Structure 1
Amino acid sequence: MQIQLPLQGLSQYDASIHPNYQASACGPVTAFVLLNYLLPNACPYTPNDMYSKLGGTRIGLFTHRFIRNTRKIIGPEWKVVKCSLHSALHELKSGRPVALKFDKYFTFQWNKKFTFAYHWVPLIGYEIKNAELFLIIHDNGGRNRESTIRKVRYAENASVLTFVQITPN
């Protein structure tokens, strides 16, 4: 079984992103991409605007800021909350991508290997293959590398993942 939404990604290292923001722009870029998918042409902000509106820092975007400030941007018609894996998969089945944060530092798992140490990405789908769950993400790119769709093993990353859903009220 596989679900994959047709979301247009963006590299956090795109030329349109301010050079001082690029290294830590994954959260604002993820929010920008999700809002443009959920509310086509309704988000008046650029990724650079989102960086300051969401409260981005040089070390990244904290989950509580992502949630609180995304709520302020999109208003009371939308619910922005942390959610479980089960809820995230339900959102994908309903046609809505989910923000996904990998964070080994604030989960105090420094010595383990994960797909990303600290990174926000749009979760755009999933696949179950041989009874194993794979998350389909739109990686926000890297220096000299465009945003690409990747599959990551849920089991290898589960302990460092945080899901944030953006759902109409």
Structure 2
Amino acid sequence: MKIQLPVQGYSQYNASILSNYQASACGPVTAYVLLNFLFPYTNAYHPNELYSKLGGTRIGLFTYRLVRNMRKLLGPDWLIEKCSLKSALDELKNDRPLALKFDKYFTFKWNKKFTFSYHWVPLIGYELDEGELFLIVHDNGGRNRESSIRKIRYADNASILTFVKVAPCSTR
């Protein structure tokens, strides 16, 4: 079984993003990608604006800031919260991408190798392959590299993942 939403990615190293933001712009870029998917004709925020509106810092965007400040941006008709893997997969089945955070530092998993150490990415799908779960993400690019779709083994990263859903309140 495979679900993959037609989400347009964006590189956090895009020339339009302020150079002093680029290294820590993964959270605002992830929010930008989600907002462009959910509101394809009305998103007025650029990643540079989201960097300040969401509370980005030189070391990244903390989960509580993303949740709190996205709630302020979208208002009371939207539910923005951390969620479980099951809830995240349900969101994808309902055609809504999520924000996915990899965080080995604040989960104190320093000695293990993960796909990303500290990074936000749009979660755009998943695949079950012979009983194993793979998450499909846009990686937000790199220096001189556009955002690309990657398939990541869930079991290798489960202990450091945080899912944040952005859903209309009517879907509670």
Q: Is the TM-score greater than 0.5?
A: yes
Number of matched residues?
169
- Within 2, Cα distance between the matches of 1:42 and 1:101? 26
State yes or no: 1:137 paired with 2:137: yes
Per-residue CA deviations over 1:116-167 (Å, capped at 9, x if unaligned) read 0000000000000011000000110000110000000000000000000000
Please name the residue that 2:162 is paired with: 162
Shift of 1:45: 1.1
Cα RMSD (Å)? 0.5
State yes or no: 1:16 paired with 2:16: yes
Unaligned runs of at least 5 residues, structure 2 = none
Q: Aligned letter for 2:45?
A: Y
- Within 2, Cα distance between the matches of 1:77 and 1:38? 13
- Within 2, Cα distance between the matches of 1:103 and 1:41? 32
Shift of 1:60: 0.2
- Within 1, Cα distance between the matches of 2:11 and 2:136? 16
Alignment of 1:1-169 (within 5 A): 1-169=1-169
TM-score (norm 2): 0.97
Q: Aligned letter for 1:140?
A: N
Q: Which segments of structure 1 move beyond 2 Å, counting only runs of 4 or more?
A: none
- Within 2, Cα distance between the matches of 1:45 and 1:132? 37
- Within 2, Cα distance between the matches of 1:151 and 1:111? 23
- Within 1, Cα distance between the matches of 2:98 and 2:35? 10
